[in-house]
Amino acid sequence: MADRLPSLGAFIPLASDDDALNSPMPTLIHLEPPKSPAAAPKLTRLNGIALVISLQIGSGIFTVPSFVATNVTNPGWGVAVWFLGGLLVWTGAASFIELGLRIPHNGGILAYMRRCYGNPAGFLFTWAWVLMAKPATNAIIATIFADYITRPFVNEPPASPWVLRVMALACVWGITFLNGRGATAGASVANKFLILKLSAVGIIALVGSFYFITGAGEGVPKSPTGWFGEPLDQPPVDTWTWIGGFGTALFGALFCYGGWETVGFVLGDMKDPEGDLSAVINGSMTAVIIGFTLLNAALYTCLPMDAMRASRTVSVEFARQTLGAWGGVLLSIMVSISAMGALNANTFATAKLAVTAAEVGYFPEILANLHCSNARDEPYYLDKMLSWAPSLLVAPVQWFAASTRRLRWQSQVPIFSLVLNAMLTSSYVFTGSLGGLVTFIGVTEYIFFFSSVVGLLLLRNRDALRPSPVTYRTWTGNPLIFSVVSGLLILRAVISEPILGVAIVSAGAVGLAQFWLRFRRGGVAPVGGH
């Protein structure tokens, strides 16, 4: 998955006449006027393609192929998952481009949800993204770091689960500490991490292609069953079970393709959005689909199916098989460093999302440092808010607030949001498995992707009453295919894992209750500044 998040503009809801039609509530937030086009640099077509590719290539591609292999019956379907997943994402990205043109402010999915379904849907999206999807994603990235950083020191993977958890937690809290001190990676460092990931993908794809052409791989070339045959010792599966496994594997591929939903943010920086958008999305999606498909074909060519299923560090096993021990160490270092860089970017971005949610009144205002007018008043505020708590609890809270006061008030570092994100991420590291988290994230995110694309169809239907000034329309099959397939994937996942479905529905119910308490009953009024 792309180790990036939507820009802060994703939390600026759309204020429009349609809000009155969509929801009986008054507008919660006022939208700032859009900046002049001349105020921002403009991207060329090639720049746009490169940016969209960078949004999608993440650390997950080096671990998730193992998860996919455990849920398919043969290598052929293991590769097909990546190709078909890419096509599904393509239809979604094409639909999001039209949504971005119809709702041109930097609103992202939040603006789409509010425009189509009203303010409660926008709040629910924010709730799910900040508390569920993004911390769970950070937990996976931290786990990938732990898997790969420990791999050179163990003979047989994986290391002890508790060792991996401790390493992942150390990474999470170490990165949180660095961000809390105000040390964030700049754009040049982020670009170096991207180059590192692209280099690792290129190495695997090129070496695997050589082994495929020469027929020297230890995987499919030496397997008596080939690409689509199934071993005799593998238990047969019925059609319903096969569909369920393939759907679960597809969520793994979709996790790695993640980042496509931010394509709408590229539009505002392009010289000719309506003229270039088709070329940008077609070029970037073609490149990423080819890259992911070739990488996985290379893995299945050089590694037996059992090895693919057994190790989460499949890239290291591939490198050891083809390049020797030094290749395994090199891939371990490359992937672990890129994962650490991804976690650094995600940690700060997720904290900023929580800050912006607090600024618009969605989350407690203390996350945005809006709980009191100045730093001098903060000790009295905390004493009042914690008057019910024992002194053993109040003392450490006051100490932490005092020790971080300068960073929070003078340097504007979102300490409380960083700590919230670290605590949530740690809980997912402790309680979740790779497969469980991938499915959890997939279902959570695709509920909103599905709803957004269905919203596009609703907006098109409204054109009959109020014609849209936007002339661009993606092929109707794109939103239809995406809506139907993603809806079926969500339904199948919930049926096969009812506990997961209950957890997500319960979290949504709590979110809606929180929205009702905060806004329907007066609760905490939206705030916009100190």
Q: Are 390 and 401 in contact (CB under 8 A)?
A: no
- pLDDT tens per residue across span 295-351: 999 999 999 999 999 888 999 999 999 999 899 999 999 999 889 888 888 888 888
Among 180-194, 235-249, 452-466, where is mean pLDDT lowest? 180-194
Residue 200 CA to residue 332 CA, distance in Å, equals 10
Instruction: Identify the CA nearest to 56 among candidates 225, 262, 224, 240.
Output: 262
Alpha helices (H) in 410-523, listed in sequence order? 415-431, 434-462, 477-496, 498-515
Over 60: is that where the pLDDT of 23 sits?
no
Better pLDDT: 94 or 38: 94
- Answer whether 88's CB lies under 8 Å from 97's CB: no
| pLDDT tens digits for range 245-298 | 999 999 999 999 988 887 766 666 677 776 777 788 888 899 999 999 999 999
Judge whether residue 418 has pLDDT over 50.
yes
Give the range with max mean pLDDT: 12-21, 385-394, 475-484. Answer: 475-484
User: Predicted confidence band at 10 (pLDDT cuts at 50, 70, 90)?
Assistant: very low
pLDDT at residue 74 in the model: 92
Report which of residues 494 and 360 the model is more confident about.
494
Instruction: Return mean pLDDT, the chain.
Output: 83
Please tell me the predicted confidence (pLDDT) of residue 299: 95
Size (the chain), residues: 530
Greater confidence (482 vs 280) lies with: 482
Q: Report the 10 Å Cβ neighbour count for 45.
A: 17
Residue 280 confidence (pLDDT) = 82
Q: What is the pLDDT of residues 97-122, one digit of tens each?
A: 888 888 865 557 888 888 889 889 98
pLDDT the model gives residue 439: 93
Whole-number Å distance between alpha carbons of 451 and 261: 13
The position carrying tokens 């030496």 is: 222
Q: Which of 508, 514, 450 is nearest to 116 (CA)?
A: 450
State pLDDT tens for residues 420-445.
999 999 999 999 899 999 999 999 99
Largest CA-CA distance found in the chain, in angstroms, rounded:
74
Range with the largest mean pLDDT of 13-22, 74-83, 355-364 = 74-83
**Percent of residues, the chain, with pLDDT higher than 90:** 42
Name which of 303-312, 327-336, 359-368, 458-467 the model is least confident about: 458-467
Residue 300: the pLDDT is: 96
Task: Tell me 270's DSSP state.
Answer: B
Q: What is the pLDDT of residue 338?
A: 86
Q: Is the pLDDT of residue 51 over 80?
A: no
